[in-house]
Structure 1
Amino acid sequence: MRETAYAKINLALHVRARREDGYHELETVFAFVDAGDELSVQPAPRDELRVVGEFAAGLTDPFGNIVARALSHLPHGPGGWRVTLDKRLPVAAGLGGGSADAGAVFRLVDRAHKLPDDWPQRAAKLGADVPACVASVTCIGRGTGTDLEPLDSDLTGTAVLLVNPRIPLATGPVFAGWNGIDRGPLPDGDARAIALTGRNDLEPSALALVPAIGDVLAALRGTAPLLARMSGSGATCFALYENADVMAAAAHRLRAAHPDWWQLQGKLR
């Protein structure tokens, strides 16, 4: 079996409060690009994980990899699975790459054996973004991101360009740098309205850590997108466009000006 681990972006990300458990109260709109890492699985006597691809070197502990942990959380026997993870998304990039990989494992298990009824709890134990990444459809996340609400998306099919300056950025320091000011809840409306009038409250602290994010945002905003914003805790930024031709032209322009930046072209699911 094969499955794509769809790249996650946050169309808006409002941080509302710090919690006593060290996490933060969030309100966010998760959306997913129609491309990402690729997983393939075959039956095996025991679970095995092989990581290949451009960003494989960023995953140095295969036994601690979230794919291996997801398998250990789910029944998928008899025997095990030999999993090959083609790591196409940058690591520590604000794209939920590891969570997306875990979400793909959940979909593979569901296809082969059906998921257990308590799968949302098992997913949440792996990471706050994992429950949303299982379905990989546009939705609202509250709490730490695990309390999900459906949201009909009028942005499905919208052209999207992802750009990363190839600088890893860990989530913890970005959240630690949040200034603690509650700037208000997500606006009401459909996905497009929330995206256009929302914000990412983590941008200032991410910019302080990786100033190159500002260069990426400026470059994207210079291509006349519908919207350009940082995703998650960074350093990846995204831009939405009216059509694929405009997006492709923007991608060509940025590649010529910044050949060292990583980029991915796609559509929102």
Structure 2
Amino acid sequence: MSQLETKFNEVTFKTSDLAKMKGQYLAERLLRSWNEDFTDADTGEVVSIERNEVILERGTYLSNHELSEINFYLQSGDIKEIRVSNQKRAAVLVSGMPTVWLVTIEVSGKKKSLYLYANCVDTAMSISKDYVEQKYLGKFKFVNIKELAYSYLISADEDKEDGHDSEDEDKIYKIEVEIARDEDDTFKREFILNASDAEKAKSNIIYYLNKNMEALDLNPDFEVIIISAKTITCNDIINYEFSNIHLDNYDKSEE
């Protein structure tokens, strides 16, 4: 394997000149696009739908064979030009479904733990940065970022003023529960939430499940049993609404 270079040495450009393409790599997936008209059987309305076909994948080396194929689509007008690179970059970063993440930062010399919803490391950092810049004072840095599978966050209704805890504030609990849909259908989930004690945490979990009963496919007679309960170090639970704005904008930037 040849020695890899960093992205700072990458040169990309768009071209329709086959001579300039030769020996380069595709910088992005090459598609041909066209419109097809379909008639709606119910209304008789003609609907135009854009169709796409992958010609070559990102990172493909452009030798004579690939250039011949590209030339065919250039001559037919299906493509106008392509973006090429002097580096082979075939891997594509993807994001997953939103899950709970634990982000640890150090601000003004003190470590703080934040829990939030994100779909990848990038959004976890972006959400945390946006939140921390508004809630804390001083310089901060990221210490650790970790995804927590099969967890749910239940954030407090009220924000913590200036990011500091008050003495009479609820503790943060990590509660593992068993949820029974019926006698033969049970599953385990973990919840992170504010509560004064484990029983109050259980009540809050049941309230949350009732609100999200349809999404979680629960019937009205579901039961919740606490398997384990412990307090954890947590300075902030970032509510889903705050995180979701970042997730929406991240998805749009990927389109």
Normalising by structure 1, report the TM-score. 0.23
If each structure's helix is expressed as a fraction of its own residues, which one has the higher value? 1
If each structure's strand is expressed as a fraction of its own residues, which one has the higher value? 2
Bigger radius of gyration among the two: 2
User: Using CA pairs below 8 Å that are at least 6 residues apart, which structure has the higher relative contact order?
Assistant: 1
